[in-house]
Amino acid sequence: MRTVKLIRVTAEAPAVKSFAFNDELCSKAEPGQFVMVWIPGVDEVPMSLSLLNSRGQAAITAEGVGEATEALHNMKAGYTIGVRGPFGNNYTISRASKVMIVGGGTGLASLAPLAEKLTKEGTKITFLMGAKTKSGLLFHVRIGNVLSKAKGRLIAATEDGSYGQRSLVTKSAEKLFKQGEKFNMIYTCGPEKMMVKMLHLAQEFHVPFEASLERFMRCAIGLCGTCAIGKYRVCQDGPIFSGQQLLEVEDEFGCWRRGSDGRKTKV
Ligand SMILES: Cc1cc2nc3c(=O)[nH]c(=O)nc-3n(C[C@H](O)[C@H](O)[C@H](O)COP(=O)(O)OP(=O)(O)OC[C@H]3O[C@@H](n4cnc5c(N)ncnc54)[C@H](O)[C@@H]3O)c2cc1C
Ligand code: FES
């Protein structure tokens, strides 16, 4: 584990903050990879890298949901955290094709660096982001700027209609397919029910698919088994899984996960 000092803390949404730090290894990670973040005296939790920057900087973006993430939210620039990693696989980079990216909540953390990398490769992106309300549309401006330089398209969907389409983001995606739009790849990260729906659309319209999964993690190096989904360990075999792999574990994906005590809970 390496200790790093926070160089910047940015509020992204009412309960979501980004934490930037200098770390060469993390800054060179691939979109989709994650780190184990140690919050001194509290806990160690997995977080996607939300910024990968050529100046040696990286960042994580955390929603305050419990003990560790609330403690992280109380930290300021100059505070010290620990990082292990980067771990896990990464999104496959499809060159010069037409892709759909669908994200919601803190799932957008790993999708923002993906969009940045894909635009450099000349990939045409339709990015759909969803939230309950406008303030939950993370990285809306950052992703919009990246896409506008590369003739990409950003479609926002909010459940209350406060911004973009008044719709579930999966409904907005389905509409594009039903209008006859073709894509060479779907990438998704966010609430598991959303990703399940996107997997079904990928099957129906015969599009290759990748989703980033979250499971409870302890070791992050394939030893403890707490992150298992079927025959896979999310920390080592994932966190990115193909549609084919997820169909093999469809009795678990979108249905249940194990908690810190190993018991199954509904997703
Ligand atoms: C690969 C990966 C990448 C992740 N990336 C992000 C990210 O970019 N931003 C973000 O905000 N969150 C991310 N998470 C989820 C994050 O790790 C948990 O929200 C965090 O561990 C909660 O810790 P806590 O002590 O604050 O909450 P707790 O009090 O422990 O729990 C609060 C809630 O979070 C869930 N949770 C707790 N620990 C985990 C865990 N290790 N994995 C998944 N869910 C958990 C619990 O089931 C509970 O519903 C990621 C998880 C994984 C596995
Ligand atoms: S977290 Fe220990 S095996 Fe994945």
Pair type for strands 124-131 and 98-104: parallel
Ligand 1 pocket mutation, candidates 33, 35, 47, criterion most atoms within 8 A of CB: 47
> Closest residue (by CA) to atom 44 of ligand 1?
216
Q: What is the amino acid identity at position 158?
A: T
pLDDT tops 80 at residue 94: no
- Contact criterion met (CB below 8 Å) for 76 and 9: yes
Q: Which range among 92-96, 117-121, 231-235 shows the weakest confidence by mean pLDDT?
A: 92-96
- Which tokens hold the place of 219? 């070791």
Place 96 in a pLDDT band, splitting at 50, 70 and 90: low
Q: Is the pLDDT higher at 257 or at 58?
A: 58
Distance from Cα 180 to the centre of ligand 2, integer Å: 41
97 CA → ligand 1 middle, Å: 33
Q: How far is the CA of 258 from the centre of ligand 2 (A)?
A: 12
Q: Which of 43, 47, 233 to mutate to test the pocket of ligand 2 (most atoms within 8 A of CB)?
A: 233
Report the C-alpha gap between 37 and 69 in whole angstroms: 10
pLDDT digits (tens, 9 = 90+) for 130-161: 999 999 999 999 999 999 988 899 999 999 99
| pTM (global) more than 0.85 | yes
Q: Which of 152, 153, 114, 156 is nearest to 131 (CA)?
A: 156
Rounded distance from Cα 161 to ligand 2 centre (Å)? 39
Give me the pLDDT at residue 261, please: 84
Ligand nearest to C-alpha 36: 1
Cβ–ligand 2 distance for 227 under 6 Å, the answer yes
Residue identifier of the C-alpha nearest atom 50 of ligand 1: 47
Q: Is 211 exposed, middle or buried (0-12, 13-18, 19+ CB in 10 A)?
A: buried
CA of 228 to the centre of ligand 2 (A): 7
